Structure 1
Amino acid sequence: MSVLIWLIPVALAMGAIGLVGFLWSLRNGQYDDMDGAAQRILMDDDTPLPPKRQDDAG
């Protein structure tokens, strides 16, 4: 039963740290563009690779 004296404050402190981290990420705009990453993965803006040279000594 004496373990609860340590576990409850530790659990509350970890919850408070998580809440502070979440609020910090909200203020810094981490959740502003939720669809941007999903759209960027579909865009094909890579430059094509140059054609490979075939060697006749093969």
Structure 2
Amino acid sequence: MVDLIGAENQALPVLVLAGSQQTEQAPKVANGRTFVSGSDAIIAAFAELYGIPVPHP
């Protein structure tokens, strides 16, 4: 993870997006890679990108 997005962003969970993928889920950029951090944001990103359902409250 450190190689991909740097030591300052190594807290997990993190979803590093492929290539030109973008999401509305508070994306961050490091070393030229876009990523989303935090489980709730990652679940929302998967729902946005792939249409999977979000967990029920």
Question: What range describes the TM-score normalised by the shorter chain of this pair?
Answer: under 0.3
Higher helix share: 1
Larger Rg: 1
Give the TM-score, by structure 2 length. Answer: 0.23
- From the two aligned structures, give the one with the greater strand fraction: 2
Larger RCO (CA within 8 A; separation ≥ 6)? 2
